[in-house]
Structure 1
Amino acid sequence: MSKNAFLSIAAAALMASAAFFPATADAAAPKCSTAQLIVPWGAGGDTDIVFRTFVDSINKSGVKPELQVVNIGGQGGNRGAAEARKAAPDGCTLLAIHESVITSFLTGRIDYTPDAFEPISLVTYTPSIIGAYAKAPFKSMEELIAAAKKEPKSITAGVTLGSTSHFIFLLIEDATGTEFRYVSYEGTRERNTALLAGNVLLGETNILTAKQYLSEGSLQALAIATDERDAALPEVPTLKEQKIPVTYGLARGVVAPKGTPAETIKFWEEVFAKAAKDPGLVKAITGASSSVMYKNAADYGAFLKASFAEHERLAIKIGMYKKP
């Protein structure tokens, strides 16, 4: 399905559920007519679609101020994050983030961590899938791990070094005592192209991509990094089922500049909590190969700290990062 077609379906679903929300009390609402949610990646990508779906749902609910997506791409998400970081802490500027704010710090591309922002809420989670070239000489994680142990660094994995596509394989190496040989690509499209062509044997992918290429027979899905199998791909076993205790994925959330008042954080927290319960939104997000996973500000803050600690541990282990 094209992104335009998906967006049309999402818009229709959200219009049908526009009356879902009661109005949120505006006592702690920011004092601006329109607030902006900076999405630090280009328009039309998966992350942009997810946050535009939330914003459409929120605005149709009648909440004031209205929320507007502002795309500030560049530098792997870091340019937009820098703009949000220096914005006034008045609740009129929010930032969409995922693990890149952690991995960019650990790879030296930025000098701040998620602690530079105030958490508002986690909104979605997209699990990682271990994809393999269709003609790869292994058909399961058990066979893959056996081959990797027999000949360390003989199996190639297409990644973007220092990104989540890299860290999922670092976690598998850490859990199984294996070593892969990494081939770095600029982004998702380049990684997928290399994997489908057999230029590499392994690569991280998502549910939507996996479903498309599995049906064509041009990709294997060896595992999904979740606690339980996903209903969208029930035939794909989890890593845990295959005795690899790893769960991993892209956790998208919303933060605000440091110093934003607690009552304003609470306002936006409640707005996103209500959006996460909108049936039209849930359906639209599921269609975008993700799932709604809401956490409030306190729980999301704890989630970010735990995620940072795990990424930091792996980055130190491979020499990517040295703790001051």
Structure 2
Amino acid sequence: MASRKGRSLLAVLAIVALAGCGTAAGEGPDAPGSQIRYIVPFSSGGGTDTAARETARTLTEAGIARGDIYVENLPGAGGLVGIQTLTRQGDDNTLMQWVDVLAPLYREGAPVGLDDLRPVAQLATSPMVVVTGADSRLRTFRDLLDGMAAGEVTFGLSSTLQSKEPSKWKEVAEARGIDPAGLNFVPSEGVSQVIPDVVSERIDVALVVPTLARSYLNKGELRALAITADERLGSLPDVPTLREQGVSTSYYRAQGVIMSADASDQAVDYWAEALREVSRSEEWEQYAEKNGLLVQYKGPEEYAEWLRTEGATFGRYLRERD
């Protein structure tokens, strides 16, 4: 395993002893190797990091796979640091948590592309919550649309201007006949910066995954204006969808797992089946319900096709923007 100097090894999931019966811990088949490196290309504490840690925990505690799983955060450059580490060092025992379609693959002159990676499985999708500060002048989604039309709203981004969030705000604007050229985006280094900026009203509005939004909503520090799902979430039943407010679009961020292009077919098959079992487990179902995720498994081919399709659309947006 490569040196971790300068990196933060933020979680170690210990090997599960052989014991019990049925689906008890330790009865799953051995992983291709006993040491499994699980990379998260973002800082700890966000939705992608949380999903990776829950996946790793379920793999071991539900007895789906045996081995030491080390969850390692490698943030930087919108995910590029982690992605390049995977492409350089990845093997049959290196996994990476993947969310949605990551911009570093689709920028002009990108050093890596989807062909350098092997999609393994999608585990779930997550809609986003449109949030504003509790004392914001934007009391309703109609207020937000009016502010967008007047060019008076600042949109916080959890990444750069070349991320997918601006493309979704562009869709919202165009759906209501608003010129997207007037949208004012404020990029950041992550959602840990965006939420405090919205709470303090340094920015007006942002898209946040339900698991992170809920605690701030419960404390009365944020107000939810809409959910980007096709239907209301059971965990946020009072938050209307975009469609209920006249915007015919939706936005889901898929959570999945990828490997390096150097991974063998046998390893991809192994981890795809292991992750299928994770998606069917009671542990994952409870996690998804609690965190506003929709369980939706896709195997290697289906997940790869989704990434190609979404990536092509996002790539066109980046080219048009440039």
Q: When the two structures are superposed, what TM-score results if normalisation uses the length of structure 2? A: 0.81
| CA–CA separation in structure 2 for the residues paired with 1:220 and 1:98 | 25
Partner residue in 1 for 2:83: 81
Residue of structure 2 aligned with 1:63, choices 54, 65, 77: 65
* C-alpha contact (below 8 Å) 2:123/2:255 kept by paired residues: yes
Deviates more, 1:255-264 or 1:208-217: 208-217
Is 2:155 aligned against 1:157?
A: yes
* C-alpha contact (below 8 Å) 1:128/1:224 kept by paired residues: yes
CA offset at residue 181 of structure 1?
Answer: 1.5
| CA–CA separation in structure 2 for the residues paired with 1:22 and 1:299 | 30
CA offset at residue 260 of structure 1?
Answer: 2.8
Partner residue in 1 for 2:127: 127
SS in 2 for 1:86: helix
SS in 2 for 1:244: coil
Residue of structure 2 aligned with 1:266, choices 263, 269, 273: 269
CA offset at residue 229 of structure 1?
Answer: 0.6
CA offset at residue 65 of structure 1?
Answer: 4.8
* C-alpha contact (below 8 Å) 2:46/2:192 kept by paired residues: no
Partner residue in 1 for 2:244: 241
Letter in 1 for 2:198: L
SS in 2 for 1:227: coil
SS in 1 for 2:198: helix
Q: Pairwise mapping of residues 224-303 of structure 1 onto structure 2 (< 5 A)?
A: 224-303=227-306
Deviates more, 1:58-67 or 1:219-228: 58-67
Q: How many residues align?
A: 298
Give the fraction of aligned pairs with identical amino acids, expressed as a percent: 23
| CA–CA separation in structure 2 for the residues paired with 1:210 and 1:94 | 27
How has the CA–CA distance of structure 1 residues 138 and 92 changed in structure 2, closer, same or farther, with 3 Å as cutoff? closer
Q: Pairwise mapping of residues 35-50 of structure 1 onto structure 2 (< 5 A)?
A: 35-50=36-51
How has the CA–CA distance of structure 1 residues 17 and 296 changed in structure 2, closer, same or farther, with 3 Å as cutoff? farther
CA offset at residue 237 of structure 1?
Answer: 0.9
| CA–CA separation in structure 2 for the residues paired with 1:219 and 1:17 | 46
Letter in 1 for 2:111: D
Letter in 1 for 2:122: L
| CA–CA separation in structure 2 for the residues paired with 1:268 and 1:201 | 41
CA offset at residue 18 of structure 1?
Answer: 8.9
CA offset at residue 301 of structure 1?
Answer: 0.7
CA offset at residue 274 of structure 1?
Answer: 0.3
| CA–CA separation in structure 2 for the residues paired with 1:65 and 1:57 | 12
CA offset at residue 48 of structure 1?
Answer: 2.2
How has the CA–CA distance of structure 1 residues 304 and 46 changed in structure 2, closer, same or farther, with 3 Å as cutoff? same
Partner residue in 2 for 1:322: none
Where does structure 1 lack aligned partners over 5 or more consecutive residues?
A: 1-6, 8-15, 320-324
Partner residue in 2 for 1:309: 312
| CA–CA separation in structure 1 for the residues paired with 2:132 and 2:222 | 6
| CA–CA separation in structure 2 for the residues paired with 1:138 and 1:17 | 55
CA offset at residue 102 of structure 1?
Answer: 2.7
* C-alpha contact (below 8 Å) 1:38/1:80 kept by paired residues: yes
* C-alpha contact (below 8 Å) 1:130/1:203 kept by paired residues: yes
| CA–CA separation in structure 1 for the residues paired with 2:21 and 2:79 | 32
Is 2:192 aligned against 1:192?
A: no
Where does structure 2 lack aligned partners over 5 or more consecutive residues?
A: 1-10, 12-19
| CA–CA separation in structure 2 for the residues paired with 1:182 and 1:318 | 13
SS in 2 for 1:282: helix
| CA–CA separation in structure 1 for the residues paired with 2:195 and 2:22 | 37
* C-alpha contact (below 8 Å) 1:18/1:57 kept by paired residues: no
SS in 2 for 1:157: strand
SS in 1 for 2:156: strand
| CA–CA separation in structure 1 for the residues paired with 2:220 and 2:298 | 37
- Note the alpha carbon deviations across 1:124-178, whole angstroms, 9 max, x for none: 32211111233444433334324433x2x22221223223443432332243332
Is 2:23 aligned against 1:19?
A: yes
| CA–CA separation in structure 2 for the residues paired with 1:172 and 1:291 | 22
* C-alpha contact (below 8 Å) 1:20/1:278 kept by paired residues: no
CA offset at residue 303 of structure 1?
Answer: 1.1
* C-alpha contact (below 8 Å) 1:17/1:279 kept by paired residues: no
| CA–CA separation in structure 2 for the residues paired with 1:156 and 1:124 | 30
CA offset at residue 93 of structure 1?
Answer: 1.7
| CA–CA separation in structure 2 for the residues paired with 1:47 and 1:79 | 15
Partner residue in 1 for 2:74: 72
Q: Pairwise mapping of residues 99-138 of structure 1 onto structure 2 (< 5 A)?
A: 99=100, 102-107=102-107, 110-138=110-138
How has the CA–CA distance of structure 1 residues 17 and 70 changed in structure 2, closer, same or farther, with 3 Å as cutoff? farther
